[in-house]
């Protein structure tokens, strides 16, 4: 089944404890990205990647890191999480070019930072 997977789905952690949220897709997509969703602020892009070893900032990159060492994986790293990073996080993937740019979203990771 074609899908985007994220782990963990739920995480409660404490301020300053480094964490990684994994994202993997099995559709051979070049493009991957991370979004966060907050009440009243909607969904906003954190980082994106156009291909392996190519990453760039979205609208709200502060406090996050990403890497793209393999085409299928795009982990989101919070080196020192803070309470304002409590949010619902989505990973997405899609094709690039060819006039078709549909993006597919993972199931979401609900993160609480105490």
CA angle, 19 as apex, 36 and 52 as ends, to 5°?
Answer: 70
Rg (CA), the chain: 13
**Residue 47 bridge partners (DSSP):** 34, 57
Tell me if 71 contacts other proteins by CB under 8 A. Answer: no
In the bound state with other proteins, the residue whose beta carbon lies nearer, of 65 and 104, is: 104
Out of 43, 79, 83, 114, the residue judged to bind other proteins by CB under 8 A: 43
CA 99 to chain centre: 24
Out of 66, 76, 92, 111, the residue judged to bind other proteins by CB under 8 A: 92
Cβ 104 to other proteins shortest distance, Å: 6
Cβ 25 to other proteins shortest distance, Å: 14
Tell me the C-alpha distance between 78 and 87, whole Å.
Answer: 12
Out of 11, 52, 58, 73, the residue judged to bind other proteins by CB under 8 A: 58
Between the alpha carbon of residue 111 and those of residues 2, 15, 26, 36, 88, the distances in Å are 25, 12, 24, 10, 6
Interface with other proteins by CB under 8 A: which residues? 31, 33, 35, 42-43, 45, 48, 50, 56, 58-59, 88, 90, 92, 94, 96, 99-105, 107-108, 110
């Amino acid at each position: 089944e074609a899908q985007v997977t994220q782990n963990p789905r739920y995480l409660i952690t404490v301020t300053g404890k480094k964490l990684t949220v994994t994202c993997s897709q099995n559709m051979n997509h070049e493009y991957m990205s991370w979004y966060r969703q907050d009440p009243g602020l909607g969904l906003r892009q954190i980082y994106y990647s156009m291909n392996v070893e190519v990453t760039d900032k979205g609208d709200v990159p502060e406090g996050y890191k990403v890497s793209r060492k393999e085409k299928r994986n795009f982990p989101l790293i919070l080196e020192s999480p803070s309470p304002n990073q409590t949010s619902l996080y989505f990973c997405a993937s899609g094709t690039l070019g060819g006039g078709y740019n549909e993006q597919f979203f993972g199931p979401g990771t609900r993160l609480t930072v105490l």
